[in-house]
Amino acid sequence: MAKPLILISNDDGITAPGIRTLVEVAMQIGEVVVVAPDGPQSGMGHAITIGNTLRLDKSIAFDDLGIEAYECSGTPADCVKLAKHHVLKERKPDLVVSGINHGSNSSISVLYSGTMSAAIEAAIEGLPAIGFSLCDYGHEADFSHTRPFVEEIIRQALKHQIPEHTALNVNFPKKSEETIKGIKVCRQAHAKWQEEFDERLDPRNRRYFWMTGSFVNYDKGEDTDEWAIVNNYVSVVPCQFDMTAYHAISMLNEWDF
């Protein structure tokens, strides 16, 4: 039986430690092809390149593993589009995986995340997809404890198939002395980033702003991704790109248009 074809991308760039971890796990399961940004693209959301050229070059990042890899000058969504329509135009991936992101993509962060936008772009293209993120922003973040869970989730996704037009948002707790308790299927927590803008002056005395702030969780439910992560579970949230607020349609139909 032929091995499943797994396309891998990310938003931290093709040389990031998280994508290497993901590649090393995925290559034990299937044939891996990597198409990832040539540099960091964090926080790009679902941006695509329309006013500039896109470059796609063979990469040596995974030559030591014998993996076919390409680096792209564009965004994570660009990478998935180019992979499907150019690199793999004669083949259809059995699964698209993105990450492992260096930092959390739980709750509302899914909207800003380049990692998840690569996965959601795959879902738009009709491909099953998973975005993986580690809730650790430290420079020396340890991804090792994610490996068995990445393997289990990928194998389950290939076995049972992800629902059509759905991408899974998977977040891992930061590594600690406590063993991860397991995997929980969750809903997205009701939370947001409370931004502040630090006003500063550059050396030429021109004003600029540096965005800061904190994450505020308004959700007290025990069925959310935030609860799962805080309680040392791996969270899995099924995401869709249809953002229609269906509950509001009947109300809007009562307006005097």
Of the listed ranges 55-59, 73-77, 213-217, the least confidently predicted one is 213-217
Q: What is the DSSP string of the chain?
A: -PPPEEEEE-SS-TT-HHHHHHHHHHTTTSEEEEEEESS--TT-TT----SS---EEE--TTGGGT-EEEEESS-HHHHHHHIIIIITTTS--SEEEEEEEES---GGGGGT-HHHHHHHHHHHTT--EEEEEES---TT---GGGHHHHHHHHHHHHHH-PPTTEEEEEEEPPP-SSPP--EEE-BPPSEEEEEEEEEEE-TTS-EEEEEEEEEEE----SSBHHHHHHTT-EEEEEEES----GGGHHHHTTS--
Nearest Cα to Cα of residue 237 among 161, 185, 166, 163: 185
Q: Does residue 175 register a pLDDT over 90?
A: yes
Residues annotated within a binding site: 11-12, 42, 101
Whole-number pLDDT of residue 100: 97
User: What is the pTM (predicted TM-score) of this model?
Assistant: 0.93
Q: Does residue 1 register a pLDDT over 80?
A: no
Q: Does residue 193 register a pLDDT over 90?
A: no
Evaluate the omega torsion of the peptide bond into residue 29 and state whether it is cis, within 30 degrees of 0: no
Residues annotated within a binding site for a divalent metal cation: 11-12, 42, 101
Q: Does residue 216 register a pLDDT over 90?
A: no
For residues 247 and 192, give the distance between their C-alpha atoms in angstroms, rounded to a whole number: 22
Whole-number pLDDT of residue 139: 83
* Annotated domain spans of the chain: 5-189+221-252
- pLDDT tens digits for range 98-152: 999 999 999 999 999 999 999 999 999 999 999 999 999 888 899 999 999 999 9
Task: Tell the residue number behind the tokens 């259809």, with chain if given.
Answer: 92
pLDDT band at 2 (very low <50, low <70, confident <90, very high): confident
Q: Which two tokens stand for residue 47?
A: 């941006």
For residues 161 and 179, give the distance between their C-alpha atoms in angstroms, rounded to a whole number: 28
Which CATH architecture best describes the domain 5-189+221-252? 3-Layer(aba) Sandwich (3.40)
Mean pLDDT of 37-63: 92
Q: Does residue 30 register a pLDDT over 80?
A: yes
Q: Does residue 211 register a pLDDT over 90?
A: no
Q: How many CA atoms lie within 13 A of 148 on its CB side?
A: 6
Of the listed ranges 23-37, 87-101, 166-180, 191-205, the least confidently predicted one is 191-205
Nearest Cα to Cα of residue 37 among 120, 98, 86, 92: 98
- Radius of gyration (C-alpha) of the chain in whole angstroms: 19
For residues 79 and 121, give the distance between their C-alpha atoms in angstroms, rounded to a whole number: 10
